[in-house]
Amino acid sequence: MERFDLLTNELGAKIAKRIYNVAVLIEKSPLPKATQDLVMLRASQINGCGFCVDYHTKDAAVAGESATRLHLVAAWRESTVFTDAERAALALAEEGTRIADGHHGVSDETWAEVRKHYDDDQTVALVSLVAMINANNRLNVIVRKPGGSYQPGMFTDMAS
């Protein structure tokens, strides 16, 4: 089970608050919320972060995302329920997450697809989102924070 609760440690709570406030900034960006939810879910699936899969599945459902799309995120390439823009974002999420698996970052093809569908501010938000969800996944995987306990909105008091 969980090795260490970062939020009960004074320094851990301060760091978590700052990370959360970056997430709030990204959430308020012009990058569509549905795209944000799909990207966070896909990166969390790849990284095996049970807590984040739980978190982002529940938040997406509360925001109105369909169960079909949530279930198909893991197989998005073999699915018909995602737009071309969402596919570009999911490809960026995968390539930006799997760097250690032999990828050399994001391919030129994926980058071109992202730039075709997203303006500069949306691209900044998307790149930052991929980096931040990977950081969050790693924090939770390292301390073995299990999935299942997340309740939508439980971290809103961390916003400054």
Q: What is the pLDDT of residues 76-125, one digit of tens each?
A: 999 999 999 999 999 999 999 998 886 678 999 999 999 999 999 999 99
Identify which of 60, 117, 56 has the alpha carbon closest to the alpha carbon of residue 92: 117
Q: What is the pLDDT of residue 103?
A: 65
Query: 106 φ, ψ to 5°?
Result: -90, 130
Helix spans in 48-106 (H): 50-62, 67-72, 84-97
| pTM listed for this prediction | 0.94
